[in-house]
Structure formats: structure tokens, C-alpha cells
Copies of this chain bind each other. A is one copy, B any other.
Amino acid sequence: MLKNWLFWRIILGMGAPVVIVGTVALDTIETPHGHRSRVLGGSAVYAGIAARLFTDVRLSGIVGRDFPHEHKQFLMDREIDISGVEVADGDTFHWHGAYLNDLNSADTIQTDLNVLTQFNPRFPDHYQSDHPILFLANIDPVIQLKVIEAIPSASLIVMDTMNFWITHHREALLGTLKRVDVLVINDAEIRLLTGKSNLFLAIEAVLTMGPKRVIVKKGEHGSVSFDGTHYFLLPACPLTEVVDPTGAGDTFAGALVGMLAIQTSRDEMAFRRAMVVGTVLSAMTVQGFSVERLKQANRDDVESQVARFVSQCQVSV
């Protein structure tokens, strides 16, 4: 169960804001549970919805003229600030993926970058205010670095990335990495980034590249955090059904920054609490297509799911 003081801070809106920069997308998804065409997706969307359960969220991204009004309205109804989401001539970024053999990894069938190729984040002035936490979701590391420079007031910088940037834009990625506080990355990506097959050697290697903390997402196997001193080992929630894994990692990261934003400290325990809540919310995301299940999550839900999950992890030796 979340601590009382935490809930009061959420309810009273006492958290720092978070600025989330990433993709706003239309996804076409195939899983053993079915097929969905051009549904709401994108790293900034999943992360934004998750973070918004805890604090103020300011999105930055780009969409095309085809982006459905209902999605825009949904984000506005959530009071997610989309004044930093540009509407450009052209079509919205579209990803078509399938999870047919293995629910742990997607096969990309098609990527239509569309307006994403023109993305050059410009922020309304108020995005700078109140020392926001900055979450750089998976986008071009050159753009991530521009964002870091554009928001010098950020009190914490958290970054995600993916295989494509690690392989093809390695130098830019290493440059950006020097400027971030926390790297959130999956297990395959951290091995690729560091060239170490042992996960814990890979984690230690990242700490020589700039970040002061690494959080590794291992899908159904949970997550691991290391800050150079403390390891934190966290399982995933037991799920008897996974409908659509898309957005699980972005949900985790969004909940993480949202939970960090409302806590008064950023010590080890603050990160652990944030990872627990991230785990619970990402389990909700994968139980529906797109954001269908995630958008039903409310604070009572989170409260009861967190209580159950914590009791399932409790070791009292």
C-alpha cells in the first residue's frame, strides 16, 4: 500500500511536473488475441497517461493532420498538457508490429516515420517552470540532447533508447548518455550497448558512461536497478493473460518519473517505490490493446494492485 503522505501529495497536486518527449503514434498491432488497426500509441502517450496518475504532465511530440480528434480530446480530458505537441502537414508516425511467436518481443512489420522526420521539439515557455523531471523516451539521441539543452531547469533527466540508435547512431547516443541522470533500458539493449552478455557487468559498464543510475526492464522477468551502491531486484506481476505488450516499457518509465515527481526525496527508497508502481501499471497496460486497459486505471486501482504485488514480493527472513 502506498504511504499516506504520498497519497496526500498526489491528491493535493504537490508533485513536480514531468516533461515527456517521445512519439505520439498510430499503431497497428497483431497479437494472438487479435488485431487492431491505427490505434493510439507512442512512447510519449503511454508514459504520459501513466505519469498523469501522479502529477502534472507536459508532452512534447509531433502528429500529422490525420491524428484523430478523439485522441487529442482524450489527452486533454486527462489534463495532459499537449501545447508542446506540434501538428504538422503530413501523416502521424505509424508503427505496425506483431507478437505472434513470442509475447516478449515484437516483430516490426512496417514503420512509417511520416511527420516524425520533421520533429524538432519547441517548447512553450511554461514547460520550463517548476524544475520539471525530464523523460526522454525512445527517439533520436540528437533530438534528446537538444531537449536537454532546451530545458536547463530540469531537476532530473531520465532517458530511454532502443537497438536502432545503439547500432546506427552510437556516437550521438554516447554523447547524450553523458548528460542524463538515469538510463531506463531493456535487457537486450543494455547488452548491445555495452557488449557485455552478463547483465550485471553490463549495468556496471553503463555507470562509467554518464548515468548515475541504471534501470533495466526485463519484461516478464521484472526489473533491476543499480546506482553504484545499491542493487534493487524486482519481479514482474504474475499475469495469466497478456493481450498486447506494446507500451509496457513506456508505461513503466512514465509511472517511474510520475512517482519520482511526487516524492520529497530521490533516494534509493524513492526509486524502489517508483519501480513498484511502474511494474503494476505496465502489467495493466499489457492486459489490453493500445491504452484500453491503462486508461481505466485510477488511483484506487493502483493502490490495491500495489498492495497485492508488494505482499507477493515480501521476504521477511
Contacts and interface: CB of A to CB of B under 8 A. Distances in A.
Given A240-B201, A240-B204, A316 B234 contact: no
Nearest to A198: B240
Interface residues of A, number: 38
Given A238-B233, A312-B233, A276 B317 contact: yes
A150 interface: no
A200 interface: yes
Given A238-B200, A239-B200, A315 B272 contact: yes
**Copies of this chain:** 2
A233 B235 contact: yes
Interface in A227-280: 230-236, 238-242, 269, 272-273, 276-277
A275 B48 CA distance: 38
Contact of A312 (B230, B239, B310, B317): B230
A44 to B, nearest CB: 26
Nearest to A3: B317
Contacts of A269: 316
A279 B242 CA distance: 28
A315 B224 CA distance: 13
Contacts of A239: 198, 200
B317 A233 contact: no
Contacts of A3: 317
B315 A310 contact: yes
A222 interface: yes
Contacts of A222: 221-222, 233, 235
A235 B238 contact: no
Interface of A: 1-3, 198-201, 204, 218, 220-222, 224, 230-236, 238-242, 269, 272-273, 276-277, 306, 310, 312-317
